């Protein structure tokens, strides 16, 4: 690593970090050029541990020593800036000291994800990156696997929900995440931050065709269950009692839930019973409850 002092917010070398506010980034595909942003030393550490390659790091002076220990094997520029420069460039107060511009990894195919998974989370259309980890650090040896779960999040628009879902997947033993074409990016800055870097621990990829991709899951032996308030739904407890060896769980978008096209292809419709006049949970909370119940 090479330490480079930068005193001006106008320096072109900081362009990867310019205008990172949620308002600015919602208008573009974040980030451009096959990059994503990792925020804080903990998140950067997890990204590097997952063998993701940093392009550069912007760090405030008091955090230099911590970043130095993370990048001993990486020949990348580390831009050391005053606090006011960091805030001016990004558009927000950088409280965690360091932000890295990371090269995006090549995503595996859906077939590879399904073949390797004992648990899979599919995020369809999730818009909140905060609710949205790497299999090499967590997935058990295939000889020890007896059951496989796949979850599908459909049409979510809140980046925080994506990051939270990814964190729930990591914490509760889900092996992988599939995100549909309309799902928000798990590597969006806010998603990565909310996930606390666990997005690098759970294997994930995009499923290019949805809901047609359900057929690929069924061909692999999965029972596809959609979390819904629709008619004909069984309870989550009843789904658990069925004890499916391979289970794919579909979670719909924050507002409208599962799309009619997806609903028509489901093997099971499942609901989490509510009390107190509440009709449903936030989708991130629903993933946590369902992942725990079906573990």
Q: Mean of the pLDDT values across residues 223-244?
A: 94
Average pLDDT over residues 119-148: 53
- Provide the domain count of the chain: 2
Last residue of a domain, one of 57, 78, 103: 103
Residue whose C-alpha is closest to residue 164's, from 291, 54, 276: 291
Q: Span 268-275, mean pLDDT?
A: 95
Which residue, of 103, 123, 149, is where some domain finishes?
A: 103
Asked if residue 202 and residue 172 are part of one domain, the reply reads yes
Q: Which residue shows structure tokens 């070398």?
A: 13
CATH code, domain with 28: 3.30.1330.30
- Read off the DSSP letter of residue 185: P
Q: How far apart are CA 198 and CA 155, in angstroms?
A: 21
H helix or E strand, kind and range, residue 122: strand 119-123
CA atoms lying within 13 Å on the CB side of residue 265: 20
Residues 60, 94 within the same domain: yes
Cα–chain-centroid distance for residue 54?
A: 19
Measured CA to CA in angstroms, residue 80 lies from 54, 199, 291 at distances of: 16, 27, 42
Whether the predicted pLDDT of 134 surpasses 60: no
Q: Is the pLDDT of residue 82 over 80?
A: yes
Whether pLDDT at 279 is above 60: yes
Q: Does 34 have pLDDT greater than 90?
A: no
Averaged pLDDT of the chain: 86
Work out whether the CA dihedral 227, 198, 47, 96 comes out positive or negative: positive
Q: What is the structure's pLDDT at 194?
A: 94
The 8-class DSSP code of residue 262 comes to: H
d(Cα 228, Cα 150) in Å, to the nearest integer?
A: 16
pLDDT of residue 48: 93
pLDDT on residue 130: 54
**CA-CA distance, 202 to 137, in Å (whole number)?**
9
Task: For tokens 């990814």, name the residue.
Answer: 166
Residue 29 has pLDDT above 60, yes or no: no
Tokens read off for 33:
């050029």
- Calculate Rg over the CA atoms of the chain: 20
27 plus 161 within the same structural domain: no
Q: How many CB atoms lie within 10 A of CB 63?
A: 17
DSSP letter for 192, please: H
pLDDT score recorded for residue 124: 58
Q: What are phi and psi of 199, to 5 degrees?
A: -60, -20
First to last CA, the chain: 42
CATH of the domain at 145: 3.40.1280.10
Condensed to tens digits (0 to 9), the pLDDT of residues 161-192 reads 999 999 999 999 888 888 888 998 889 888 99
Q: Please tell me whether residues 191 and 222 are part of one structural domain.
A: yes
Contact 196, 42 (CB under 8 A): yes
CA-nearest of 93, 69, 67 to 80 is: 67
Whole-number pLDDT of residue 31: 57
The whole-angstrom separation of Cα 154 and Cα 47 is 26
The whole-number pLDDT of residue 24 equals 54
State the residue range of the domain holding 245.
110-293
Residue 260 has pLDDT above 60, yes or no: yes
The answer to whether residues 98 and 115 belong to one domain is no
Q: How far apart are CA 208 and CA 179, in angstroms?
A: 9
Name the domain boundary from 50, 80, 103. 103
Residues 97 and 114 in one domain: no
Q: Are 60 and 51 in contact (CB under 8 A)?
A: no
């Amino acid at each position: 690593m090479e330490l480079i002092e930068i005193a001006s917010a106008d320096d072109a070398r900081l362009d990867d970090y310019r205008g990172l506010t949620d308002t600015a980034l919602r208008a573009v595909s974040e980030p451009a050029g096959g990059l994503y942003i990792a925020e804080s030393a903990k998140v950067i550490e997890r990204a590097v541990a997952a063998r993701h390659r940093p392009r550069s790091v912007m760090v405030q002076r008091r955090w230099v020593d911590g970043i130095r220990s993370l990048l001993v094997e990486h020949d990348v520029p580390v831009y050391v800036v005053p606090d006011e420069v960091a805030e001016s460039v990004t558009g927000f107060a950088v409280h965690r000291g360091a932000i890295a511009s990371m090269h995006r990894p090549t995503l595996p195919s859906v077939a590879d994800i399904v073949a390797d998974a004992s648990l899979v989370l599919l995020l369809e259309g999730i818009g909140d990156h905060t609710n949205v980890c790497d299999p090499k650090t967590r997935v058990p040896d295939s000889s020890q696997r007896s059951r496989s779960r796949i979850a599908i999040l459909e049409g979510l628009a809140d980046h925080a929900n994506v990051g939270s879902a990814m964190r729930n997947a990591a914490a509760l033993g889900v092996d992988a995440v599939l995100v549909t074409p309309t799902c928000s990016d798990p590597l969006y800055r806010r998603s990565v931050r909310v996930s606390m870097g666990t997005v690098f621990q759970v294997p994930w990829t995009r499923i290019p065709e949805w809901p047609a991709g359900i057929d690929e899951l069924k061909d692999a032996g999965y029972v596809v269950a959609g979390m819904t308030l629709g008619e004909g739904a069984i309870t989550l407890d009843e789904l658990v009692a069925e004890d499916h060896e391979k289970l794919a769980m579909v979670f719909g978008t924050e507002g409208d839930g599962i799309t009619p096209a997806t609903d028509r292809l489901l093997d099971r419709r499942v609901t989490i019973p509510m009390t107190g006049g509440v009709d449903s949970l936030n989708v991130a909370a629903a993933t946590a409850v369902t992942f725990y119940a079906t573990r």
